[in-house]
Chains A and B, each alone.
Chain A
Amino acid sequence: AQTVTQSQPEMSVQEAETVTLSCTYDTSESNYYLFWYKQPPSRQMILVIRQEAYKQQNATENRFSVNFQKAAKSFSLKISDSQLGDTAMYFCAFMKHSGTASKLTFGTGTRLQVTL
């Protein structure tokens, strides 16, 4: 079974600064996907970024980037130029590559507050 650990329950960052959210996972699989989801107060689950384990290059999406360290089983999210709209709960999630239907394993989340 897979486990996903987010060790930072809450974080705060000032507007325009950079913040990094941590995520580690445990699996015996060699091919899988990793995701970061954002959940604002509206409750909607929004996909921020995804990474395929067989790709060595770290994924980037505008101000969001990841540091994927496969050997260390680490998958951190960096948010650059933080904006007030980034205030949300952030979840790290794992999915096996094949035969997985929609079976995501989530971490417990990090609540990010962006302040003026």
Chain B
Amino acid sequence: NAGVTQTPKFQVLKTGQSMTLQCAQDMNHEYMSWYRQDPGMGLRLIHYSVGAGITDQGEVPNGYNVSRSTTEDFPLRLLSAAPSQTSVYFCASRSRYQGEKLFFGSGTQLSVL
């Protein structure tokens, strides 16, 4: 059982480049979300989804896009990377019907130069 899988684990981008952070879960969870972790600021919610075809903004959505075409996948797109997006990104999932525990991926360390 793989749980929540994030790729890549590390990425370096130049300012203005675009890229997609991948997130997949094999637990048939309805809820998925993206967080970013910055030093001294804890984790902050970027976007979340309550099911395929449904997404919504979190606390810090600017500069990011998401889509949820399947239950399993929830990619995060950086449209035009900026140094302020240098961070560690976590994807998480949760079952709507089986408790409140959040399952986290192992994170992606992103550096924007």
Contact = CB atoms under 8 A, between A and B. Distances in A.
Interface of A: 4, 9, 33, 42-45, 47, 50, 91, 93, 95, 101-109
Given A45-B90, A107-B42, A102 B48 contact: yes
A106 B44 contact: yes
A33 B104 contact: no
Contact of A101 (B31, B88, B101): B31
Contacts of B102: 47, 102, 104
Given A43-B88, A45-B104, A50-B100, A101 B50 contact: yes
Nearest to A47: B101
Nearest to A92: B42
A50 B88 CA distance: 24
6 contacts: A9-B40, A33-B100, A43-B109, A91-B43, A102-B102, A106-B43
Where chain B touches its partner, the secondary structure class is: strand
Interface of B: 31-33, 35, 40-45, 48-50, 56, 58, 88, 90, 92-94, 100-102, 104, 106-107, 109
Given A33-B100, A44-B104, A50-B100, A102 B33 contact: yes
| Most chain B Cβ neighbours within 10 Å, of A4, A42, A102 | A102
Contact of B94 (A102, A106, A109): A102
Contacts of B40: 9, 108
B101 A50 contact: yes
Given A102-B33, A108-B40, 12 more contacts: A4-B42, A42-B106, A43-B106, A45-B92, A47-B101, A91-B43, A101-B48, A102-B93, A103-B48, A103-B58, A104-B35, A107-B42
A12 B76 CA distance: 37
Given A43-B106, A45-B104, A107-B42, A102 B88 contact: no
